[in-house]
Every structure is written in structure tokens, then in C-alpha cells.
Amino acid sequence: MTNIGSTRVTERPLRRKTATLLTVPALALLLSACGSSNPQEDKLGTFLVAPGKYFLFDCQQLNTAAANYVNRREVLRQAMADAEKSPGGGVVSLLAYRGEYGQVQGNLAEINREAAGKNCTIKPPAPAAPAAAPPPPPKRRGR
């Protein structure tokens, strides 16, 4: 505290307000930069997956794992797109889906790397068939 004439001025609340005023825009800028990056160019996933994770997998197991991750990636892409439609959805998308999306991308990259080393061909998964409509109920006969 400092004395100015006969009044005492507290400097700490002023410093806290200044720090808050500077921190909030910086965080907003950081979040907007992260949220606007293209999911297809995401390289974070390669750091989230251990190298050699799929070393013991054969070609069939690599294909199965790749198909599962491709399907999960599509689900996450759709969820991220749906979240972005709402106000504040970019932040929700970033916090809820971005980390898992990065892991899925990293796993797919590691599977492709391992498949190339083993001369395997990764087949694209078959498109998911739409759910079949239930059969119509049987017609009642009148008496």
C-alpha cells in the first residue's frame, strides 16, 4: 500500500483487474486459433500414440483396427460439425471432441505406417448400411 497525501491506495486489486483484463483476451485468442484449425491437417495425434503400438498386429488385425478408427473418425467429425452450428460450439467442439479426434488420427497414421512396413493393403471400410425399417405390423382381420 502507498500513501498519497491523507488517503491510502491499494494497488493489488488494480493489478488483479489488469491481469484479468489481459488474460481473458489472450485465452480467447488462443482458443479461437485452436478451434479454427483444419481437422484433416491435425498432426497432434502423432504425439498422442506410442510408436510401435501395432507392431504385433497382422494385416487382418490392422484392417479391422483401421476400419474401427475410420468409423469413429466419421462420428467425431459429424459431432464436431453439429457442435459448430450452435453459438459457442467451437469451444465445445474443441473441449469435447478435438482431443479424441487427434488420438484417432494418430492411431490411423500409426496403423498406416505399420501396414506399409508389413506390405499390407489397408482396405477402406464398407459404408455403413442404413438401419433397416422394421416390418409393418400384421393387418388385423375384422370380425
pLDDT at 66: 95
Mean pLDDT of the chain: 75
| pLDDT beyond 80 at 118 | yes
Q: What is the pLDDT of residues 22-42, one digit of tens each?
A: 565 555 544 444 444 454 445
- Among 30-44, 98-112, 127-141, the minimum mean pLDDT is found in 30-44
How large a percentage of the chain has pLDDT more than 70? 55
Residue 91 belongs to some domain of the structure? yes
What is the residue range of 115's domain? 44-122
Residue 132 belongs to some domain of the structure? no
**pTM attached to this predicted model:** 0.58
CA distance 8 to 61: 73
Sign of CA dihedral 16, 19, 24, 25: positive
Bigger pLDDT: 76 vs 139:
76
Q: What is the pLDDT of residues 67-80, one digit of tens each?
A: 999 999 999 999 99
Residue 130 belongs to some domain of the structure? no
Count of domains for the chain: 1
Residue 25 belongs to some domain of the structure? no
Residue 139 belongs to some domain of the structure? no
Cβ atoms of 66 and 108 within 8 Å: the answer is yes
**One-character DSSP codes across 18-82:** HHHHHHHHHHHHHHHHHHTS-GGG--THHHHS-TTTTTT--HHHHHHHHHHHHHHHHHHHHHHHH
Residue 73 belongs to some domain of the structure? yes
Residue 24 belongs to some domain of the structure? no
Confidence of residue 119 (pLDDT cuts 50, 70, 90): very high
How large a percentage of the chain has pLDDT more than 90? 31
Residue 109 belongs to some domain of the structure? yes
